[in-house]
Amino acid sequence: MLLIFDLDGTLINSKKDLTISTNATREHFGLPPLDEETVGSYVGNGVAMLVRRAMGPDATEELIESALQYFMKFYRTHAIENTRLYPGVRESVQELAAEKHKLAVLTNKPGRISFDIIGALGLGDYFMRVYGGDSLAGKKPDPVGILTLMQEGAARPEETLMIGDSAVDVQTARNAGVRSCGVLWGFQPETFAAFPPDITVREPRELAGSVGLLLNT
């Protein structure tokens, strides 16, 4: 199968570094800090939307653009200071790769930073592609990322699975006509109430078994 993973909240716990970068940006523009759970709820639709949400509804477009530039400069420097793989992710990725599944990352985080994080955490050799929100013509929930990866991986829809922690990932899978797997350890599993995935897993070690079950259905 072609297994397409979201990044933040699925493979990596990046909430602390995202919060630090968000609050550094808010402080630079004279705003008080936000807590990690609030910042985590802003993640999933790309950095521009994260910054827009973090700056608040009264922020002007000019302010948002300046804040985005500040955030990106800060985050590039601090993106992996506290970011870690979720427990069990490394072993699950290794197991799935050993079973000859094709693995890819599709995230709305910028592509260069995403690629660097995957490499720094020692998973670069396992993924055939790492696509970010700026890698293709559209970002999730636009299906272009999944459709491109299916073409590159020579995978049919029934051989493709999108794995992520939020409704955005489920919507992307539906838009591409493929199945979805929701992980319950990430940033926004509560959003599955509105967009239920085809299957859910409670911890990374369940991934290989769940993929095996899908292969037999």
Catalytic residue among 6, 8, 17, 169: 6
CATH number (1.10.150.240, 3.40.50.720, 3.30.710.10, 3.20.10.10) of 15-78 reads 1.10.150.240
Mean per-residue pLDDT of the chain: 96
CATH number (3.90.1150.10, 1.10.1740.10, 3.40.50.1000, 1.10.150.20) of 2-13+84-215 reads 3.40.50.1000
In contact, 213 and 5? CB cutoff 8 Å: no
The number of helix segments (H) and strand segments (E) in the chain equals 9, 8
The pLDDT score that the predictor gives to residue 8 is: 97
The pLDDT score that the predictor gives to residue 215 is: 75
Q: 204: closest CA among 88, 83, 85, 94?
A: 88
Q: pLDDT confidence of 16, banded at 50, 70, 90?
A: very high
* Residue 8: active-site member: no
Q: pLDDT confidence of 214, banded at 50, 70, 90?
A: confident
- Domain residue spans of the chain: 2-13+84-215, 15-78
In contact, 107 and 132? CB cutoff 8 Å: yes
> What's the CA gap between 217 and 213, in Å, rounded?
7
Give the global pTM.
0.96
Tens digit of pLDDT for each residue in 147-192?
A: 999 999 999 999 999 999 999 999 999 999 999 999 999 999 999 9
How many C-beta neighbours within 10 Å does residue 119 have?
Answer: 14
